Amino acid sequence: MSTAVVRGLGGALPGKVVTNHHLSAVMDTTDEWIRRRTGIVERRHADETESTSVLATLAGERALASAGVDSAGLVIVATSTPDKVCPATAPKVAANLGLNGVAAFDISAVCSGFVYALATAAWAIESGSTSSALVIGADTFTRLLDPTDRTTSVIFGDGAGAAYLAAGTPDQPGAIHASTLHADGDGESLIQVPRGAGSFFEMQGKEVFTQAVTAMSGSLQTVLDSAGWTAAEVDSLIAHQANLRILNAVASVAGIPAAKAEVHLDRVGNTSAASIPLAMTDAATKGHRTPGDRVLLTAFGGGTTWGAIAMTWPSISVVDPH
Ligand code: COA
């Protein structure tokens, strides 16, 4: 059986930077509150030209270039903010990349989308169905926010991140060693955009906070056990970038020092399905990791959905999307 190995990473961000000061000028909030309660300092907002597919295409292009390849046998776009209700965004992104004819589909798992898509691509490679895959997480949730809702407006930002995977062996840097995915539809109303004209993104922040910590730390333990690693052996935790307090709580419950948790949300906020690949790209840009380091990914999001992946850090170079 082949092992799926990450060989390339890429990210894309909209040009418009929205700082906490910008937000405090238009709603009842302060830079101090946002920093203290979330850790976020600024985020990016997509304009009319920066659709989910545009950002996804750029991130995908950069991930292919980072891997030094120009094609992939499968394209998966994790998004809950597709360009259209239908068709899916992935076929368009694949066509934009010149990959017409390749299997392409979307995965809708909100903030867990990238973990879902990466695990699915790894299954496809492990089964021998394809020898390579491009996995992209892309979301433009700021278009669906209620501009008067200070609890959601301060958190979310737009962006895309991507990973290229190819068949390889477990000893190679970038190898995926274990994955776990979960969902519980009884929690569907915790994070939702109801159908109907004028519907905005709705979130029950406090409940999400509590469930996110329990679900992410639980799935980290599952992949640690499957990979045969201990928490002490983990070099880096790249968790969904929702809130700095959530990152610290997940690290603490999982027994991983908070200093090992990658932090990127200060500059981009919560970019939903893009958050983990953007944080990985940022870690690569900053030279935070060495090939072969033991890395855990984990996310929690609408659905509710959650999961985790244990992998080693790939040997790659990336373009800084900032
Ligand atoms: N600026 C200033 N005050 C704010 C505010 C803002 N942007 N948002 C909320 N407040 C106020 C509240 O109205 C409340 O005031 P009150 O005590 O007078 O009622 C107070 O701050 C505390 O609100 P609370 O909701 O308890 O804050 P919190 O510490 O739980 O932080 C979130 C709110 C949304 C930041 C936090 O719950 C969170 O991050 N949840 C998870 C979000 C998430 O991860 N979502 C995506 C998952 S995929």
Listed by start position, the domains of the chain span 3-168, 176-312
Measured distance CA(191)–CA(181) in Å, rounded:
18
Residue 249 identity (one-letter amino acid): A
Ligand 1 atom nearest the C-alpha of 243 is 39
The best mutation among 37, 184, 193 to test binding of ligand 1, ranked by most ligand atoms within 8 Å of the C-beta, falls on: 37
pLDDT of residue 232: 97
CATH superfamily of domain region 3-168: Thiolase/Chalcone synthase (3.40.47.10)
The phi-psi region of residue 139 (left if phi > 0; otherwise alpha if psi is between -120 and 50; otherwise beta) is: beta
Q: Is the pLDDT of residue 197 over 90?
A: no
The mean per-residue pLDDT over the stretch 280-305 comes to 97
pLDDT of residue 96: 98
Chain centroid to CA 128 = 25
pLDDT of residue 198: 83
Measured distance CA(159)–CA(277) in Å, rounded:
10
Percent of the chain beyond pLDDT 90?
A: 97
Q: Residue 171: which residues within 8 A CB-CB, separation 6 or more? A: none
Q: How confident is the model at residue 196 (pLDDT cuts 50, 70, 90)?
A: confident
Common-topology check for domains 3-168 and 176-312: yes
pLDDT of residue 1: 85
Q: How confident is the model at residue 30 (pLDDT cuts 50, 70, 90)?
A: very high
The mean per-residue pLDDT over the stretch 279-283 comes to 98
CA atoms within 13 A on the CB side of 79: 36
What residues does ligand 1 touch, defined as CB less than 6 Å away? Answer: 29, 33-34, 37-38, 111, 150-151, 154, 203, 205-206, 208-209, 212, 242-243, 246, 270, 300-301
State pLDDT tens for residues 168-182: 999 999 999 999 999
Under CATH, what is the fold of the domain 176-312?
Peroxisomal Thiolase; Chain A, domain 1 (3.40.47)
Measured distance CA(224)–CA(38) in Å, rounded:
27
Tell me the pairing of strands 294-301 and 236-239. parallel
Q: Residue 77: which residues within 8 A CB-CB, separation 6 or more? A: 52, 56, 88, 89, 90, 93, 104, 105, 106, 107, 117, 136, 137, 138
CA distances from 128 to 1, 9, 110, 132 (A): 8, 22, 28, 10
Percent of the chain beyond pLDDT 70?
A: 100
